[in-house]
């Protein structure tokens, strides 16, 4: 049976400590410190209090926390002496069904990792959706992190411990991060579109106004229209996808936010795109709750930032501040296609580019959620 915050806030110290048992592996001192901040206003408040206890602890205490964790597919798993939480996590990731070759590889990695860093390898093996990472991805991550600097790896171990704790808390309180899952799924869906020569290799590359690029724009526009509740959605004269969520009172200013959906070559799935999907999720939540803010929200998926097809970086955002250079239109890509021809082929109205410039007086500012 799931706990509620009201129950946790009303529980005796011993009961509350028991409720949080196992969130941080064999480290009750973390819950003890966090519980001094009761009453918790939200599950996020509780998570922050627990993480703060770890973050402000000594390096020795942090190392103790890391070393309290079992090795992946290690002796404790074989001996069936893992905690219930660790057993569940390693099972969901399929580590209990390793082939003999996979098991031998992980044992060697465990030995190499401990010799290099002096603590066990920590990975939130249940993954972003809590359903478990593929074993090959776990092994690849394990091998890659062996090359990290010790200080970086200490921080990476703690980051994964916090993620493990977050998933465990969600389980205890019966919480499903629906908006987070939707945001994750949107990244995965958009990453299916990639330019020729890269898609065949399983690599993500989306350059300005290619077929993959236009497919991304159409998909973002579709989600804005059908899932999020924006009041206005357009693809503008340079290919930016723009969604506007009106303020509570007509005439109020807007907060602009967003990021780019083009990529570098062989890119990650989240660079730029996180800054599009997070505010889209916020608008979705506002729309579903029937809420309007004192200001409007303008989410812009910028068509170009990386300068991979044409040497015209920040083309998408530059057009909004009047910095689009008409000379860019005559640039040619590697196949000899001019930007002008590419824009015309995509159905963009070049004559309207100058009209995209925004009036700063109509905006509160610009904010971008970003990850490299």
Positions marked active-site: 69
d(CA 193, CA 200): 11
In angstroms, how far is the first alpha carbon of the chain from the final one? 39
Give alpha helix (H) positions in the chain. Answer: 5-10, 13-19, 28-34, 43-55, 59-67, 75-78, 84-92, 100-117, 135-145, 150-173, 178-190, 211-223, 274-289, 315-318, 339-345
- The length of the chain is 372
d(CA 14, CA 17): 5
Helix axes 150-173, 84-92, angle to 10 degrees: 100
| Phi-psi domain of 320 (left: phi exceeds 0; alpha: psi -120 through 50; beta: other) | alpha
d(CA 187, CA 261): 10
d(CA 131, CA 73): 17
d(CA 369, CA 245): 18
d(CA 334, CA 155): 42
Q: Are the beta carbons of 254 and 362 closer than 8 angstroms? A: yes
d(CA 161, CA 53): 13
d(CA 36, CA 368): 34
Cα atoms in the Cβ-side hemisphere of radius 13 Å centred on 66: 24
Cis ω for the linkage preceding 39 (within 30 of 0):
yes
Give which of 134, 67, 68 is closest to 102, Cα–Cα: 134
Strand partners, 203: none
Q: Are the beta carbons of 255 and 363 closer than 8 angstroms? A: yes
**How many helices, marked H, and strands, marked E, lie in the chain?**
15, 5
């Amino acid at each position: 049976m799931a706990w509620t915050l009201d129950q946790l806030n009303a529980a005796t110290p011993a009961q509350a400590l028991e409720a949080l048992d196992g969130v941080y592996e064999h480290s009750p001192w973390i819950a003890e410190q966090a519980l001094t901040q009761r009453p918790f206003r939200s599950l996020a408040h509780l998570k922050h209090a627990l993480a703060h206890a770890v973050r402000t602890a000594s390096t020795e205490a942090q190392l103790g926390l890391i070393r309290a964790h079992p090795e992946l597919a290690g002796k404790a798993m074989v001996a069936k002496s893992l905690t219930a939480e660790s057993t569940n996590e390693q099972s969901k990731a399929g580590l209990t069904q390793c082939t003999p070759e996979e098991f031998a590889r992980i044992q060697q990695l465990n030995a190499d990792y401990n010799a290099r860093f002096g603590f066990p390898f920590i990975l939130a093996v249940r993954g972003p959706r809590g359903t478990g990472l593929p074993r090959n991805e776990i092994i690849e991550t394990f091998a890659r992190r062996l090359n990290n600097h010790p200080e970086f790896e200490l921080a990476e171990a703690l980051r994964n411990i916090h993620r493990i704790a977050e998933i465990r808390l969600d389980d205890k309180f019966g919480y499903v991060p629906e908006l987070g899952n939707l945001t994750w799924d949107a990244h995965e869906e958009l990453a299916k579109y990639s330019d020729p020569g890269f898609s065949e290799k399983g690599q993500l590359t989306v350059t300005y106004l290619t077929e993959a690029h236009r497919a991304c724009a159409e998909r973002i526009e579709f989600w804005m229209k059908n899932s999020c509740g924006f009041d206005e959605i357009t693809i503008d004269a340079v290919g930016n996808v723009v969604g506007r969520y009106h303020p509570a009172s007509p005439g109020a200013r807007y907060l602009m936010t967003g990021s780019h959906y083009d990529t570098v070559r062989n890119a990650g799935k989240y660079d730029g795109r996180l800054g599009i999907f997070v505010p889209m999720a916020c608008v979705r939540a506002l729309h579903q709750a029937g809420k309007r803010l004192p200001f409007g929200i303008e989410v812009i998926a910028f068509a170009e930032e990386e300068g991979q097809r044409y040497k015209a970086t920040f083309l998408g955002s530059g057009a909004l501040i009047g910095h689009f250079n008409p000379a860019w239109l005559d640039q040619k890509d590697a196949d000899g296609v001019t930007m002008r021809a590419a824009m015309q082929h995509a159905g963009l109205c070049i004559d309207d580019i100058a009209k995209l410039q925004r009036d700063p007086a109509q905006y509160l500012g610009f904010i971008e959620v970003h990850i490299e």
